[in-house]
Structures are given as structure tokens and as C-alpha cells.
Chain A
Amino acid sequence: MTTATATAPARSHAGAPRRNLIGRIVDRLGSGLVQVLMILLGLFWLVPTLGLLVVSLRTTEVNNAEGWWTIFTKPAEITIANYGNLLAGGFGASFWNTVAITVPTTILVIGIAAMAAYAFAWMEFPGRDLLFLVVVGLLIVPIQIALIPVAALYGQAGIFGTIPGVVLFHVAFGLPFAIFLLRNFFIGIPASLLEAARMDGAPEWRIFVSVVFPLGKPAIASLGIFQFLWVWNDMLIALVFADAANQPMTKYLQSQMRQFGTNMDILSSGAFLSLIIPLVLFFAFQRYFVQGMMAGSVK
């Protein structure tokens, strides 16, 4: 809308009123076209997920017979039977495994990264800047590089396939981003606050807990939501390091993919349940989510 109002005065300088009128009509038409285009694009992004929801609410027989969009003429076909079948299978356990992996990972990443970030931001030690550059470098290391070595390590340590093994792997690979994000935020805390605390002789851990951590809340919230979603949605690490008893939802659903057609009931309802919590978090905390994402893309 900004351009429509902005161009109008410009045109009135330029020419006769007649042209101005035509210009306005063209602007209106253009604006209308933009509206239609954006509605179509919005539908394009919304409808696939809507399709998943509808498919999950219809039986396999109905889904095999007709497209999910026929639901609008036959709303009576809705059933929650798929969700019943899903929970009767192994999905319930995998849901709790996802929770058991995601929550500790998020807490550990925040705690460990905040400590390191505080040291990088407000403590002097030899090699600090070089070490931080290493962290920046590690930001985009592909996970694949660690799969084989860590699998060997876990084999020796006897934690291959366990939830702690999965959690530790996630924590380690979450740290570079987390340290980067928090250090860049902590460094903006007014120096006077820290100096005052240090003058008073407060120990570092107390400054960390009672000054840095509370002041860093916005960044910690961004990190927390980002980290949570990242771990919740992971499939690769789970595929390698979680055995069948400890598998999260992504791995459970992946194991049902081979018979995509016949497992449609489980897959659609499971995929939809797996994305409910991320979506709720996203809509509730979208501000922090966007902040974390923007801070994380290295500028």
C-alpha cells in the first residue's frame, strides 16, 4: 500500500490530471493483482499442511478412494481412529523419548553455552579471540563428520543407542551456535553493571547467575526455542544413535515409511502430532524464534 500512496503525489507533479487518474487506476489494478497473487501464494504454503491434517482424520480406505479435498463435501467422514491406532502402536513411547531427548538437551545447551559465552565476553585469558574464532568456524561443521567416530566412542563407553548418548551428541553440536549467539548478546551488557558487581567483590559465579543470566533472558529465550525445535525435529542423529527402545518420533515414523501407502494412517497422524508442539511454540514465541534465527545467520 505504501507505493500506491507514495506514487500518487509524484505523478501529480508530472502531468495532467487525466494521467493522474489513469495512474491511480493502474495502481489500484496492480494492488488488486498483488492481493490475488499473495492469497494464492499463501494458500500454496498453507494447503499442504492442511492436507496432512485432513488425511490424518480419514480412514485409509477413504484416503485411497478420493482426494482429501473432498472432505468439504463429505465432512461426515472425519474420524480420529487413525490417532487411536497410532497411540496403540509404538508412537506413544517415541513421543516420550522425543521429550526425554529434547528437554535435557535444551537445558544443558543453555547452561553450558551461557557459561562459555560469559567467559568469552567478559573474562580475559590467553588465546580468547582465537578460541572464539574456532567456535565461529565450528558453526557449520556437518554432523556427518562425527557420526562414525562418536559411534565408535559410544561403543567403547557402552552408551550407544541410549538417550544420554543422543543428548550429549545434540548438546555438543548445539554449542557453537549457542555460544556464538549468547556471547554476542552478553558483550552488549553495560560494562558498568559488571564492574560494580566486581568492585563489590562478588564471585564470578554469582555475577553470572544474578547479573548476566537475567539480563541475557531475551537471547536465552531465542536460543532455547531454537534449540528445542532443532532437537525435536532431528532425524539423522536419532537414526544413528538411538536404538529401537529409545527412538524419538522422527525415527519411529521413518521406520514406517517403507510401506507408505498402507501406513498412511499412522504416518499422517504421527507426522501431524509431531508438528503440533513445534507449531504451538512457534506461534507463541515467534518473536524469539525470529530473533534467534537472525542472530544465528552470521553477518
Chain B
Amino acid sequence: MAVTERLDGPQDPPVDSTGGPTSGPADTPRPRRRLGPSPTIALLFLLPAALLLGIWVVYPIGYSIVRSLYDSTGGVFVGLENYGTIFSDEGTLRTVRNNLIWVIVAPLVVTTLGLIFAVLTERIRWATAFKLIVFMPMAVSLMAAGVIFRLVYDEDPDKGLANAIMTVVHDTFSSSQGYPDARPREGDESPVAAEEDGAVVTKQPAAAGQPVLIPIVGVKQEVLPADAEPAVAATGGDGLSGTVWFDFTPGGGGVNGQPDATEKGLPGMTVEAVSDGEVAATTTTAADGTFRFDDLPEGSYVVRLPADNFTAAYNGLTWLGPTLITPAIIGAFVWVWAGFAMVLIAAGLAAIPRDALEAARIDGASEWQVFRKITVPLLSPVLLVVFVTMIINTLKVFDLVFIIAPPSVQPEANVIALEMWRVAFGGGNNQGLGSALAVFLLILVLPFMIMNIRRFKRGDS
């Protein structure tokens, strides 16, 4: 992979970067004859780094391992008890479970999306702009990304973008307007009655040519749509028609059971024509509350307003509640890291010989076959790098959970890295358990550490 990759595609390699990180060792064999300085000088060059790494990284690893065997204040040796706590305490066990979900879901989603983006950007002219946009979250702090997604996930569809979009999409496909607590006008004179499940049905089958009147009361002012027009009695005529309206005259007056001039129709109601218990046709009321079934076969019909009409309007999902919090935060994680995956995979894609793809296409392979049988196998080393990097990142995930999960649901969203901070510094003050959690985290990344070392040895020799 060339070091000269940039978001706007490969450029001419600058002369001074001939020995890039990967091409270096192979291109320049070391001089046999030693001409370098003495080991003492080498030591001087290494000293500052060695001191910092020794005191701040290596020594702490040993310290944490030892400290994890002692109790919260460090006075009593407790053996492996702290590690036992990780797997027996309900709270910490949940962090392990959550991390497991993270590790299974997030790397797969990020790698897949990165692959799709990398392939698709090859087919658009504005690939540079797209890559810049998707890669941008990488530069932003996870703290800021957290604030951004707290806004996106706000439960109120008038504030949170996620629910605003979901409500719009939902209402496009399902016309049900949602009139909670609304009910039919009751009494013997009323032509309609409520069924047990909440649906509203006409008491008598509709008479031919006679419009059906369905008076509704108890409509809350805030759910009455702004575009509701004054109710109009349907004209009758061919087919089955009628009016659903809010049978209430503001300020009093009016005739019950008749649509008066000041009464509003109820738009968006789902109306069913029912014959012998079977729904024969479905329609929706207009802004003035009228509805009409054309082309109904001859027969006896009652008109029903299904119970859906009387439940609250769809308001999206409770993203930041206990059930969805982890998927929601994983969504933010994907938003942050998809660009990383895309850029790495795109670089790998650019390195694939075009001839191989062309040959397959000329042999009649479909785009999907080319992708499946040639592109993906050739990309597998890059895909593995991205996948492993994401596993490590998900194991260490901290900021996003800390910022996006509101305090009340944080226990539900908790992960090991966050629990370690909470236990040791965020009020818990249990440095024994904190050390055990840190060591546990180190053990989890250990396989990847060994893998890195092995890979490096192979590449460098």
C-alpha cells in the first residue's frame, strides 16, 4: 500500500518518500559493513523514549497486575477475588456482555460499510467529496461526536433527527393519523359504537346510496391536524361513502350526529368496509373527513374505523432508553469509523490489477461475480487489518458510551473501559477492582498484540 494515498486518489509519488513504511525494508538491504556509531551513542538516542515508555507504560503494566490482587484500598491481599467479581457482579458482568455485543456487531458493520463505500466511490465522479465527508468524523473528538448523536437520538421527533425521519417515513407508508382517546359519540341515537378492541363500527349495515355518518368525540386539540377542513356530509350516490368528523361545536350549539358548519372533519382516518366479518376494502378520509369506496361488489357492508386510528401517533423510537442504547451508540461508532475503513479499503482496491477484473468481465462474469470471486479475495489482507483494528477499538470504547448514554441508562450501556474508570476514579474508588478490569482489558487485546508482532516479524524479515 503506497504511502502517497490521499482522499483524492493516488498522486505521483514524491521523490523523497521512496522508502515508505511498507516498501522500506525490502527495497533497502542494510549495509553489511558496520559504519554506525557505538552502542553508547545509540543508548543516548533511545534514552528519553525508553524512560518514558518504562515509567509510564511498562512499569504500570506490572503494577496493575500486582495491584489487581489486592482489595479496594490496597491493604489486604485477596488473590483473584477481583477477577471473580468481574464475572459474578451483575453490573460488571453486563459490561462484559455489552463489550461482546460491540465486538460481534461493530467491526463487521464498519468493515462491510467501508467495503461498500470503497467500491461505490469508484463509480461516482464526486468521489473525493464523498470520501472527505465520510472521513471527516475521524478528525472530530468522540466527545463532540457524542454531543452530535445525543441531538440526533433525541426522543422528541421535533428535536431528534432520527425520530423526525422515522416519523416522516412511517407516516408516508401508513396514513393512520392517530387520534388517541377519541371515541364515537355514544348513546342509542348514535349510528356507531365502539368494539371491545377499540375499533368503531356502524351499528347498521350501510343503506345503498345513503352516506354513512361517523361522529367522533374526545379529539384532543393538539392531535387535530392543522389541515383539517370543516366537515362535509358526503353526497351519497354510487358506491359507499360517508364522513368521519369531530362532532363537537366549539362554543356550544350544533346538532349532535350531524356535521355542522363549524365542525371539523378528521383527515387521515383509516376506514374499512366490512362484509360478514371480512374486510372488503380500505380507504382513508380526506381533509374534510369524507371517504368513498368505489367499485364495491354488491352486498351488505358495515363501516369500521380500526383501532389503530385511536392509538397515539407514531413518534419514532426511544433510542436513548435501556433497550436501544447499545445499538444506538454502535450507530455513532459506525459513523465515526466508516471513513477509516473506506479509505484503507479504497487504497487496497486501487492496488488490485485492473487486468484481472477486465479479463473476468470479458469472460462474461457478472459484476457481482467479479466482486465476490476476485475483488474480495484480493482485498482480504486489508479487510483483515480493518476488522482487527475495529475489534481493538470496540474493546477500548469509552468516550461514546460515556457521552451518549444519559446517566440514568448508563448502567445498561456500560462497557469494560468505562466501568474501569467509574470503579477507580468516577466515584467507586476501588483500585483493586479497577486494576483487575484494566488487566482484563489488556488480556483481551493480548491476542492482537501477538498477532501484530508476528505480522511485523514476517514483513520485516
- Taken together as a complex, chains A and B put the C-alpha atoms of A60 and B193 apart, in Å, by 46
Interface-facing stretch out of B119-127, B212-220, B246-254: B119-127
The answer on a CB contact under 8 Å between B159 and A145 is no
> Which residues from B are CB-within-8-Å of A290?
5-7, 135, 343
The answer on a CB contact under 8 Å between A49 and B143 is no
Report if B377 contacts A (CB, 8 A): no
The answer on a CB contact under 8 Å between A148 and B30 is no
Q: Which of B1-52 contact A (CB under 8 A)?
A: 1, 3-7, 11, 14, 16-25, 27-28, 30-31, 34-37, 39, 41-43, 45-46, 48-50, 52
The answer on a CB contact under 8 Å between B147 and A52 is yes
Report if B139 contacts A (CB, 8 A): yes
A110 CB to closest chain B CB, in angstroms? 12
The answer on a CB contact under 8 Å between B140 and A149 is no
> Which residues from B are CB-within-8-Å of A254?
143, 402-403
Q: Pick the contact of B36 from A66, A133, A198, A235 — CB < 8 Å?
A: A198
Report if A179 contacts B (CB, 8 A): yes
| A-B contact number at CB 8 A | 362
> Which residues from A are CB-within-8-Å of B19?
185, 187-190
The answer on a CB contact under 8 Å between B159 and A64 is yes
Report if A90 contacts B (CB, 8 A): no
Q: Pick the contact of B24 from A123, A188, A217, A229 — CB < 8 Å?
A: A188
User: How many residues in B have their beta carbons less than 8 Å from beta carbons of A?
Assistant: 129
Report if B298 contacts A (CB, 8 A): no
The answer on a CB contact under 8 Å between A282 and B136 is yes
Q: Which interface class (under 10, 10 to 19, 20 to 34, 35 or more) fits A? A: 35 or more
Report if B283 contacts A (CB, 8 A): no
- Taken together as a complex, chains A and B put the C-alpha atoms of A112 and B27 apart, in Å, by 26
Q: Pick the contact of A149 from B4, B64, B121, B441 — CB < 8 Å?
A: B64
- Taken together as a complex, chains A and B put the C-alpha atoms of A7 and B362 apart, in Å, by 8
A266 CB to closest chain B CB, in angstroms? 10
Report if A80 contacts B (CB, 8 A): no
The answer on a CB contact under 8 Å between B137 and A291 is no
Report if A213 contacts B (CB, 8 A): no
The answer on a CB contact under 8 Å between A42 and B129 is yes
- Taken together as a complex, chains A and B put the C-alpha atoms of A185 and B407 apart, in Å, by 45
> Which residues from B are CB-within-8-Å of A250?
141, 143
Report if A275 contacts B (CB, 8 A): yes
Nearest-neighbor residue (CB-CB) of B129 within chain A: A42
Nearest-neighbor residue (CB-CB) of B56 within chain A: A172
Given A52-B148, A299-B381, the answer on whether A141 and B45 have CB atoms closer than 8 Å is no
A277 CB to closest chain B CB, in angstroms? 9
Give 3 closest A-B pairs by Cβ, nearest first: A188-B19, A172-B56, A233-B141
